Amino acid sequence: MEQDCVFCKIVDGKIPSTKVYEDEWVLAFDDIHPMAPVHVVIIPKQHIATLMDVKTEHLRSLEAMVHAVQEVARRKSVDKTGFRLVINCNEQGGQVIFHLHMHVLGGKKLKDALD
């Protein structure tokens, strides 16, 4: 855990969140500034700064994140209608919080681009 990381604080329970899914490896919660009717953030419980920092020892966390995407999609009823999965990487890629995370967006027809 990184003491200044907001997502590590959410994992630790120091910052509240609306949990959608949780297991030993990951936590999924509703985004506090949703960009779609369904907007869930999925994070590994282990601190990994960016996608570029993923190492072999993190692969179990990534596998768990993919499983969480499927579970979140079912729980939010977008598994059949469709959703977008986004991973922003580094500043120019739009990453604001430097703890690896995925955005699950859905619940309406999404535009071709997010900008």
Identify whether the C-beta of residue 88 lies closer than 8 Å to the C-beta of residue 114: no
Rounded-to-integer distance, Cα 74 and Cα 111, Å: 22
Residue 101 annotated to the active site: yes
**Catalytic residue, candidates 33, 39, 58, 101:** 101
Q: Among positive and negative, which fits the CA dihedral 29, 31, 32, 38?
A: negative
Active-site positions read 101
